Structure 1
Amino acid sequence: LQENADSRSGTVVALFTAGCFCGAFLASYTDPLGRRRTILLACCIFVVGGTVQTAGVIIAMLYVGRLIAGIGVGFLTMIIPIYQAELAHRKIRGKITSLQQLFNALGQIFATWIGYGCYMTWTHTGNSREWRIPLGCQLVPAIFLGGLIMFFPESPRWLCAHDRADEGLQVLAQLHAHGDTSDSYVLAEFELIQSQIVEERSQKSIGYFDLFRGWPNLRRTILVMAIQASCQMTGVSAIQYFSPQIFAQIGIPTSRSLLTKSYS
């Protein structure tokens, strides 16, 4: 029975991660939609996945829900930093894009405290609220983001790249100069965006296979992949997902392990 439970836990984690991989890959083809609509699409996908998980009556529904939710997260992980960078002032661009990871950590803190509270309230009662409430809570930020994103401005760079330069200039002015389209920074940023777009269009289209063709491209690809792989090879994700089981094996009660996870 324990082996079966461990297998199911591993499958739940693996399906979510697989969904994230697929979502991040698919998001690269959503450029025609724009940044805001891609974010809205991702939120809708995530809400569907979260709803399937929360309403689940069999383990297969949890599997499917985790996979779908992972696809939504993959979309968001790819598109949010791009959208942030294209809206932010160059002086704070790095700080703004780092906020994604900051709020990711804050979300994990809230999630573990909610899980701990639900466990302590309904453990050993057989009440499904012990797991339905934590799963349902993930819908709140997705609905909030999806409901408000269309009130945000579209990326000025995306507008310029899709032959809507006048709108792009207006957005830049609203973001950085209170609507003044003659502001020096706005004009400089607009010219920089336009020149980059012209340069990109003049270059030969590059596909995924080109990342591995020629030593310069291959070297860059290896470096980037090595950095990302090294982060995961520290084991941080394994500890994050399976710390309650790891702690249980060394004799720490589930309630204590959940509490430890909430502040570590």
Structure 2
Amino acid sequence: MGVLMSRKRAFNWYISLVAASCMVLYGYDASVFNSVQGSKNWVAWMNKPNANTIGSINTAYTVGAIFGGFFLGGPCADFLGRKIGMGIGCVLVIIATFMQTFTPRHNIALFLAGRCIIGIGQGIALTAGPIYIGELAPPEIRGKIMTFWQMFYSVGSFICFWINFGCTKHTASLGEWDWKMVVIFQLLVPVLILILLPTIPGSPRWYIQRGNKIDQARAALSKVRDTEEEVEQELLEIREAIEYEKEAISGNYSALWKDKSLRKRMGLALILNAGQQITGQGSLNSYSTKIYQKVFTSSSQIALINALNATFGIIFTLNAVWIVDRFGRKFLLIVGGIGMGLCMIVVSAVETETPSLANGAKSEPVGISIVFLLFLFIFFYKPSWGATVWIWTSEIFSMNVRAQAVGMASQTQNVANAIVQQFFPIFLDNEGFFAFYMFAGINFLLAAFVFFFIPETKQVSLEEIDTLFGGANHVAQGEEVLAHQKGVQMTHEGSEKPGAVTVENVGSK
């Protein structure tokens, strides 16, 4: 029995990691454009784009991702299934990667279109992935598995920055392929996901929601739960929750504004997801090269720091694996917010209160201090506002709106990021490192917000999470609905017999 348990638990990890690999697409892409901008060959190939055009390329991706997440991600995951949603996202990323790599010389419009399509693909995949994990992972390891979701973002950055670092070392021999190589490697992970998708089961919640396919749901659950009792208990809970949602709230997305408890959850999720990007992490990720240019002069040195940053990002995110289910989501978000705020204050002070050398850079000890402090910042960010925001968002919504709500909430990250990225470079040029004081204030405010408004969701089953937000327990209410339906059914069956109880009599009891 012990062997059987460990094999099923291992399979649960495997299917969750396949779904989490969608985040590698996001991490790679977030770093790929940052990387190619440093290539003189790319600049020449694209006919020396000005700052506005570069901004448009960033915006094209963001607009695509917001459109994909807000309008396509939920319907794809709900009507076609979580697995198909991930598959569609991967196919779009593959098509767009070829469009960008083989853009004809001086045809920046095609490159721009590729960026937009990659955004749409990621918007769809990043909606389906966390829902799939949340629906198949047992509550006691759900937090640990969702930690890998955030960690895989760092894996994407890691692959991209190290490929870019290697290409910067061989620019002469590679020629225009010094940037094309960085772009085309984006094929690697979506192709791998498409190969592995047929090996993972569908979501049991989706099977029951779309056509009440109980046998398929049971087959899917039995692959990842240790005992038959667990499978039957979870099946019953899912059916009860879905029945209640159909009867009492609404079987469709309108519940998001009709149900007071869901409105509250949506508001909190939008603030947390926007908060994730205004901690300063979004700006560090997109403009780290520009930030480090204020401290260092060597571009190869800056490329190495970026690559090391991504490497440490993986290690720091892994911290969440052992602390997120032990200390809880709320504790991590508060400690992370305070830690990031302190790092931002110290980094601002170190840079602004120390003299610059004749070439405009800082002395080596000051440079090392700043790099250390920004690495310390991601030490606090990765397990807390990095991983935990995704965990919390994927587990708080009821079944009837989960796909749409997670899609909308996660794309708030892109909305917030687009706004901050628009003004941050100008802010950085005008104010230098004084800009980081703004992030310090934001982080302290976010920690206070979590303390007062965010409930703890550690190890609460997905079907019973509604009670935390002042809603009805969908399982308990669903039990009554199912019992009532069963009573009505029995009445109909018995009404042909003499002396049968009528439907009206049942209703009045």
TM-score, structure 1 length as denominator?
A: 0.88
Q: Distance in 2 between matches of 1:24 and 1:9?
A: 23
After superposing the two structures, state which structure 1 stretch, 10-19 or 76-85, moved more.
Answer: 10-19
| Cα distance in 1 for residues equivalent to 2:286 and 2:87 | 28
- Judge conservation of contact 2:296–2:302 (CA < 8 Å) in 1: no
- Pick from 36, 44, 47: which aligns with 2:91? 44
Q: 1:213 to 1:186 in 2, by over 3 A?
A: closer
Q: CA deviation at 1:252?
A: 2.1
Match of 2:215 in 1: 166
**CA shift in 2, pair 1:110/1:208, >3 Å:** same
Secondary structure class of the residue paired with 2:240: helix
Give deviations 1:156-209, integer Å, cap 9, x for gaps. Answer: 1111112211111111112223xx6xx211111111111111111113337767
Q: Which residue of 1 aligns with 2:108?
A: 59
Of the structure 1 ranges 202-211 and 183-192, higher mean CA displacement relative to structure 2 is found in: 202-211
Q: Give the alignment's TM-score, normalised by structure 2.
A: 0.47
Pair 1:78-2:127 in alignment: yes
Which one of 264, 269, 274 corresponds to residue 229 of structure 1? 274
Larger RCO of the pair (alpha carbons < 8 Å, separation 6+): 2
Cα separation, 1, equivalents of 2:258 and 2:127: 24
Q: What residue identity is the alignment partner of 2:168?
A: Y
Task: Specify the code of the residue in structure 1 equivalent to 2:117.
Answer: I
Given candidates 7, 10, 34, the residue that maps to 2:81 is 34
Question: C-alpha root-mean-square deviation of aligned residues, in Å?
Answer: 2.4
1:107 to 133, 137, 156: 156
**Partner residue, 1:148:** 196
The equivalent of 1:188 in structure 2 is 233
SS of 1:234 mapped into structure 2: coil
CA distance in 2, matches of 1:176, 1:217: 29
Q: Given the alignment, which residue of 164, 175, 179 partners 1:131?
A: 179
Change (3 A) 1:204 1:222: closer
Matched to 2:53, the amino acid is R
Distance 2:124 2:259 in 1: 29
Alpha-carbon distance in 2 for matches of 1:159, 1:214: 24
Moved more, 150-159 or 212-221: 212-221
Corresponding letter in the other structure for 1:7: N
1:258: Cα distance to partner? 1.2
Structure 1 stretch displaced more, 197-206 or 253-262: 197-206
Change (3 A) 1:212 1:189: closer
- Cα distance, 1:235 vs structure 2: 2.6
Give the distance between the partners of 1:68 and 1:209, measured in 2 at CA: 28
Of residues 234-243 and 73-82 in structure 1, the stretch that sits farther from structure 2 once superposed is: 234-243
Aligned residues with identical type, % of pairs: 27
Q: Out of 64, 86, 95, which is 1:19 matched to?
A: 64
CA shift for structure 1 position 213: 6.8
- The answer to whether the 8 A contact 1:13-1:241 is kept is no
5+ long unaligned stretches in structure 1? none
- Residue ranges of structure 2 left out of the alignment (5+ in a row): 1-42, 310-509
What's the offset of the Cα at 1:151?
2.3
Letter in 2 for 1:66: R
More deviation, 54-63/164-173: 54-63
Moved over 4 A (4+): 206-219
Q: Give the drift of 1:90.
A: 2.5
* Inter-CA distance 229–7: structure 2 relative to 1 (3 Å threshold): same
Structure 1: distance between partners of 2:260 and 2:205: 31
